[in-house]
Every structure is written in structure tokens, then in C-alpha cells.
Amino acid sequence: MNPAIPSQRPRLALFDLDHTLIPMDSDHGWGEFAIAIGWCDRTEFGRRNDEFFAHYQAGTLNVPDYVRFATEAIVQRGAAAAQAAHQRFMQEVITPAILPQAQALVRAHQQAGDLVVITSATNEFVTRPIAAAFGVQELLSTELERDATGWFTGGVQGVPNMREGKVVRMDAWLAARGLSWEGVESTFYSDSMNDLPLLERVNHPVATNPEPRLRAIAQERGWRVLDLFTENP
């Protein structure tokens, strides 16, 4: 597979993370892991985690409410304990979910000289080590507010990186580098209807392991459809 697109302009390869590069939702997975290590009550936290995930899938998620809920345990436990737990999460949950075909796709863009960015609605605490595992330095995610000590408060900093917010954040990322949408050849891989605004913004949208609604739109509009995984739980 050679994803490179001949162009004199800089090439930008954007990747959603959950269900696109990994066949799972890392945010929901972190919640399940927090339950497993005894940081959260299984019954109540599990119920609310599933409820928030259903809202995400439906495009109705209240991001600040969810982030406050999802980060409560790490805020309370502190940096050292939270980072140690995330290392376990990477080893036990995420690393087995990083499949060769996803790594190869990212690597192909990197080797072609493309600017590679992972753009995820999931918060920075969960996603930054995952982006690093893919060898991607440029990450746009939902940023977390920090207190005077530098630790998380449970709030959201700036524009949540979700739905139209992904376009806003990419606009700012491009502008900070002296680039514009008109000046780059852009490709975006995503599975989710939540990412339709950014898929519609790039030159080359790729519906990747798409949910049924997005698959139907991609087929109707003649977008490329890429199934990286035989299963996408």
C-alpha cells in the first residue's frame, strides 16, 4: 500500500485514534481499567461510563461533563499513581490492540514525508502515550485544565477536540506553522460520524473501519473506504 498522493504542496495525514487506528475506544477502555484496578465502583462508574459512551456514539456527548467524570480518579490519585497506572494500561490493554496493519499505514505516511497528526476527542492523559507508541509526535486531543501545581483539575482547557472542534483545532495547528488548508494536500482517516466536519474539510477523506452511517455516506459520496480490522468492537 502506498498512501502518498503526488503533490507539490506539503502532505498532511490526519488520523482519528479510537476505532480507526486501534479497534477499541481508549477512553472507555481506560474507564474499564480504572474499575479493574479498584479506582472506581464497578456498578455506578460502569453504568455512567457506558451511558457517556452511548452519547458519544450518538453525537450528543457533553464533553466537559464527561471529562470531569472520566478524570475524577486520576485527579484524586495524583500524578505518580496515575502515570504508573497508565503504564499498566498501555501494557495490558493498548499494546495488544495496536495491530501491524495500523502501524504500517502510519509508517507509510511518515516514510513518504507526510506531516502525520493524530487527532482524537479522547483526553490528552489517555492519548499521548498511545500516540507515542505509534511514533507520532503531533497529537491534537481534548486538553485538560491544570492547577498551579501542573496537575489536572478535571476541567477542559480550550476547545474540546471533537466534532466541529477538530476543525477549529486543526485550523489553529496549521496557522501556527504558517500553513493553510489551501496550501496542503490533506488526508483524514476516521471511523466516526462525529468526525464528519473534518472529513468534509480535507482533500481526501478516508472512511476507516466506518460505522454504518459513515459507510453509507462514504459510498454515496465516492469516498475511499478502508477496513483495517476484520473486527472493530
CA angle 36, 37, 42 (to 5 degrees): 45
Question: What are the grid coordinates assigned to 29, written together?
Answer: 477502555
Which regions of the chain are under pLDDT 70? 1-7, 231-233
Active-site residue (options: 16, 25, 114, 191): 16
pTM: 0.91
Active-site residue (options: 18, 27, 114, 195): 18
pLDDT of res. 207: 98
Dihedral angle over CA of 111, 137, 129, 160, nearest 10: -120
Residues of the chain with pLDDT > 90: what percent?
Answer: 80
pLDDT tens per residue across span 158-201? 999 999 999 999 999 999 999 999 999 999 999 999 999 999 99
Is 16 an active-site residue? yes
Between CA 204 and CA 190 the distance in angstroms is 11
Is 227 an active-site residue? no
